Amino acid sequence: MKTVWKFELTINNEVEITMPRFARILHIDTQGLTRPFFRVLVWALVDPTELTETVKFRIAGTGHEIHNENNLSYIGTVMFLDGALVFHVFKYTK
């Protein structure tokens, strides 16, 4: 049986989190924003009985350089402060 889990990404150039294998990312957004805390959250469909794996993400602000783009899959964009801060989230592919 699968369920939806929520994972938090720290805003950094590269972020690694642990997720059950074969997790399918459904959505990325912000939640419960209270300044100065900016939270980027990923919701994924997971099988809780699966073994876990480390998943690596690249978070880039608008205008930031992105290298090795062929190894990245776009996940989504999140905005803070009415669009004054915009971050684009990519997942590293294997």
pTM (2 decimals)? 0.87
User: By residue range, what is the domain housing residue 70?
Assistant: 3-92
Over the stretch 33-58, which tens digit does the pLDDT of each residue have?
A: 665 567 899 999 999 999 999 999 99
pLDDT along the chain (94 residues), means of 10: 95 94 96 70 97 96 88 94 89 89
Dist. CA 12–CA 64, nearest whole Å: 12
Please count the structural domains in the chain: 1
10 Å CB burial of residue 66 (0-12, 13-18, 19+) is exposed
